[in-house]
Amino acid sequence: MQTYERLFLTVTLSKFYTAVLTKLCGGVRVIDLLLYKPISYVDRRKSLSDAKVGEIATFIAKVQKHEPPGVKKKPYKIIVESNNRCIFIVFFNYSIKYLYKLFPPNSTVIISGKLEIFVGQLQITHPDYVLLDLNQFKETACIEPIYQTSRGITSKNIKNIINFCLKDLPNLPEWIDNEILNKKGWFSWQESIIRLHQPNSLAEIEICRERLAYDELYAYQMALKLIRTDNLKRKERQFTISNKYKDQVLSKLPFQLTSDQIKAIAEISEKQKSEYHMINLLQGDVGSGKTVVALFVMLNAIENGLQAAFMVPTTILAEQHYNWIEEILSCTDIKVALLTGKSSRKEKKLIVNELASGISNIVVGTHALFQDNIIFKNLGLVVVDEQQRFGVMQRYRLIEKGNNADILFITATPIPRTLQQAIYGDIDCSILKEKPQSRSKIKTVAINIEKVQNVIDRLKIAIDKGEKAYWICPYIEENENLDIAAAEVRFQKLRKVFTNRVGIIHGRLTQDEKNQVMFSFKKGAIVLLVATTVIEVGIDIPDATIMIVENAEQFGLSQLHQLRGRVGRGNKPSFCILLYSGYLNKTKLKIICESQDGFYIAEKDLMIRGSGNILGIKQSGHIGFKFADMCKDQGLFDLIHIANDIKELLDIFGYENKLNL
């Protein structure tokens, strides 16, 4: 059997174990089990004479006698002797029959457990291991890996299954340069896997993890490179930019473009003119004007007789973008369409026909855009706003509707450089940090929840003066197990103060209900909006000036920054109040209070929370690394140099165009 194929064999297990391990490890192939990383390790190498009280000792002892308790509910004790030292082995909730089987009188056993002192006597309560086979001493007195478990399977069960897989582990051809291996002091891939599960020392565990993290990052970067090369096709058309609509649109904008916006438009325009298909990421801090940049990029496509699709994650955001774009382009001959799940059957039929015939130049929409019946006459540009909220397959279903359409991904959640590299590889990136001069700074303060009544009193004064405010809660409903704010409870309390001037919006409302609430808030019928993070991204109510976040300690830094960005969108002074309860992570809230730089905040968020949730949402197609940690492993990216020649990449594995991505 070929070396690689052995790794992909399915391990024969019971139906129950197969289901549990598939959930834990992602499958029951040999490779799935071998790449299941221990969550911690227990050092069982110390002997009875070396181990201190509170440490684990592993030793061979002779069973001297059993001492059943004279009174019920007292512990059962077994006296053992090792190297002329007596140790009491203590059990609660015991079975005498089982204990005699485990500790036959006058037998010699292996014991491993934590040493304790009770009334001056050395003892071990419920030892981790008691073995009668003395040949098992070496494998017991080791560094034991501890695995995350699920009901019905123990860490020991998983360890035994993985050890079975390790017996036939092939030695794969090395793909890392000897120079890097020697410099980092890494083992081979085979040795790294073995020592990950059967380490000889605590120091080498991190060495193994780092080497496997490099493999993981390298493999992912290589896959991105292969996909990117496959997508890097020559355009069949000439792309020129005459700025036909530029002056008309600039005259309609109520502000001047920032230098960052001008630079980003120029950068992306040059890539559009390239003979190759464009994939570009536009990162912009809250309020930096990403939609304006996207609009000029779409105008470039329209000048060339192409259509543009602008996909956003929510109906509210789609309607907001559509209304703004249509207003700005009202001075031109460009036709803009809106397509969402809310669109009526008649509206959908009309829009489908106009897209297919080329009458509509721009379509703004939600997931409805990638339905099978949506056909474009000449789709040349796909803009995906808040792209991390769509799965990879969802994005590409829309992209495939065009003939080698250019792609512009937009995110308002700044992504730290290392995480950007991990997720996107060498994708081109444009950054907006500068904000329009009309945007005012938002004063941010952290206040203990005990002073919530003071906040409500001050809020009433502000609202009576004509201000609008958001009040954000982490959850929709109250949970008796969690002392955390619920939107519905807070809404009822605030309603007693603000009567019908307060509204509520959360994920369980229908789309029509959400739209009605947001319309009322925008028009001023509602002046205080209680919400969950459903309003986190993109909602634009320029006259909203106060953001209150209850239980702010429950949110990540980037999420708090996004929520804060819902205010300060006009020219009036704006405020963000972070209400915290219980334990306060002072470092976290201090960062958000002192900085309004989303990129700096994202880097700090990565350091505090790790890479797992930095984008704020787990999505279909978003990579989940087993070994790599974006905080620990930033330096590994500097070692990764993916070959430009794809044939060279394939030759590493002896493939000839057989790689199935």
Higher pLDDT, 172 or 587: 172
CB 338 within 8 A of CB 286: no
pLDDT one-digit tens code per residue, 621-635:
345 688 887 767 777
Q: What is the DSSP string of 599-632?
A: HHHHHHHHHHH-STTTTSS--TT----SS--TTT
Separation between Cα atoms, residue 169 and residue 163, nearest integer Å:
10
Maximal C-alpha separation, the chain: 98
The strands making up 56-67's β-sheet, listed across from edge to edge, are 116-118, 121-125, 85-91, 76-82, 56-67, 108-114, 129-131
Least confident of 65-74, 336-345, 363-372, 606-615: 606-615
Q: Which two tokens stand for residue 371?
A: 């339905």
Length of the chain (residues): 661
Is pLDDT of 457 > 60? yes
CA angle 355–357–362, rounded 5-degree value: 35
Cα 657 to Cα 231, 237, 653, distances in angstroms: 16, 28, 11
Burial tier of 225 (Cβ tally within 10 Å: 0-12, 13-18, 19+): middle
- Token pair 């949110």 is found at 555
Q: What average pLDDT does the segment 350-359 reach?
A: 93
> How high is the pLDDT of residue 613?
42
Q: Where would I find the H helices in 364-486?
A: 392-399, 417-424, 452-464
Separation between Cα atoms, residue 527 and residue 110, nearest integer Å:
72
CB 459 within 8 A of CB 548: yes
Q: What is the mean pLDDT of the chain?
A: 84
Separation between Cα atoms, residue 220 and residue 621, nearest integer Å:
13
Q: What average pLDDT does the segment 23-47 reach?
A: 92
Is pLDDT of 358 > 90? yes
Separation between Cα atoms, residue 280 and residue 387, nearest integer Å:
12
pLDDT one-digit tens code per residue, 365-418:
988 887 778 889 999 998 988 655 444 455 556 666 767 788 898 887 666 655
> How high is the pLDDT of residue 656?
45
Higher pLDDT, 477 or 418: 477
| pLDDT above 90 coverage of the chain, percent | 43
Contacts for 25 with CB less than 8 Å, ≥ 6 apart:
32, 33, 35, 36
Q: What average pLDDT does the segment 638-647 reach?
A: 60
Is pLDDT of 529 > 80? yes
Is pLDDT of 219 > 80? yes
Higher pLDDT, 192 or 344: 192
426: nearest Cα among 283, 226, 267: 226
At residue 255 the predicted structure's pLDDT band, cuts being 50, 70 and 90, is confident
pLDDT one-digit tens code per residue, 90-117:
999 888 899 999 999 999 999 999 999 9
> How high is the pLDDT of residue 16?
86
Least confident of 71-75, 133-137, 347-351: 71-75
CB 354 within 8 A of CB 335: yes
Helix, strand, coil content of the chain in percent (nearest 5): 40, 20, 40
What is the distance of C-alpha 620 from the center of its chain? 11
Is pLDDT of 584 > 90? no
Is pLDDT of 360 > 50? yes
Q: What average pLDDT does the segment 419-447 reach?
A: 75
Burial tier of 59 (Cβ tally within 10 Å: 0-12, 13-18, 19+): buried
531: nearest Cα among 573, 580, 586, 490: 490
Q: Which two tokens stand for residue 93?
A: 């909730």
Residue 408 half-sphere exposure toward CB, CA atoms < 13 A? 34
Q: What average pLDDT does the segment 267-294 reach?
A: 87
| DSSP classification of residue 440 | P
Separation between Cα atoms, residue 303 and residue 377, nearest integer Å:
15
Q: What average pLDDT does the segment 24-52 reach?
A: 92
Least confident of 241-255, 513-527, 532-546, 568-582: 532-546
Least confident of 52-61, 119-128, 369-378, 445-454: 369-378
At residue 225 the predicted structure's pLDDT band, cuts being 50, 70 and 90, is confident
Least confident of 240-254, 477-491, 570-584, 587-601: 477-491
Q: What average pLDDT does the segment 419-438 reach?
A: 70
Separation between Cα atoms, residue 147 and residue 158, nearest integer Å:
7
Is pLDDT of 472 > 70? yes
At residue 483 the predicted structure's pLDDT band, cuts being 50, 70 and 90, is low
For 80-85, the CB contacts below 8 A with 24+ separation are 80/109, 80/111, 82/48, 83/48, 83/49, 83/59, 85/48, 85/122
At residue 72 the predicted structure's pLDDT band, cuts being 50, 70 and 90, is confident
Full-model pTM: 0.66
The strands making up 544-550's β-sheet, listed across from edge to edge, are 442-448, 574-580, 544-550, 468-472, 528-531, 502-505
> How high is the pLDDT of residue 412?
74
Separation between Cα atoms, residue 554 and residue 578, nearest integer Å:
11
Separation between Cα atoms, residue 622 and residue 118, nearest integer Å:
52
Is pLDDT of 81 > 90? yes
